[in-house]
Structure 1
Amino acid sequence: MLLGATMPGKNMPRFEYKRMTGEQLRTELLDMAMPVFAFARIFGVRPQTVKKWLRDENDIPPWVHVALGLLRLEGALSEARQLAAEHIIRDNQRPGAGEFPFLERADEITEGNGDDDD
């Protein structure tokens, strides 16, 4: 350790990240033609959380930037959708649909029906 070097405090995060803005996130999602509902489902966050990020009401976590970059790799978006569908147990907004994955209706799952308020 160098003399005079300051060690971060116990509660201080090790790294500081550039913060993504809501407008940057919106642009990324639009470029990928990814609805808020689909992004939220893939990454296990509530659509309302993503909407708050888009409105700059909450900070966007650093992992979102990395995840969006990875989703741009060839075939990654469809693979992420498939993996998410395999990992989801049920859709609480559509309990009559039964247990996930309902892979035979994949188009319904990936696009949603606009019920993304919760």
Structure 2
Amino acid sequence: MQQIYSTDVAFAALKSDGSVVTWGRADEGGDSSAVQAQLQGDVQQIYSTRTAFAAVKSGGVVVTWGEAEYGGDSSAVQAQLQGGVQQIYSTDAAFAALKSDGSVVTRGRADCGGDSSAVQAQLQGDVL
């Protein structure tokens, strides 16, 4: 295995073939079965909040799982996460994805940074 990542109550192991294995509290990142097909290879890096994981695959595609409110459900912004993500940053309960065009996409608890709608126009480019 290349690396092990954690939430407060779950682990995700990134294997040398780019696949991911998870265990721990099921609803807080330990059960990745809903996205397992997307985690069978090409995963480059994993990030976490308190109870969710985000995996960046080759090409900058992002896959999330875990507690929905803490960033585990990225369906509302999934179209923006289908490529070009260079880096993910996290708070206790939110993710911010920096894309190659300098834009930022956020997801998670609004009061923890997951809702960037008030500043979205300023996050559309030129973020380093």
Q: TM-score, normalised to structure 1's length?
A: 0.27
Larger RCO, structure (CA 8 Å, separation 6 or more): 1
The structure in which a higher percent of residues are helix is 1
The structure in which a higher percent of residues are strand is 2
Indicate the structure (1 or 2) with the bigger Cα radius of gyration.
Answer: 1
Q: TM-score, normalised to structure 2's length?
A: 0.25
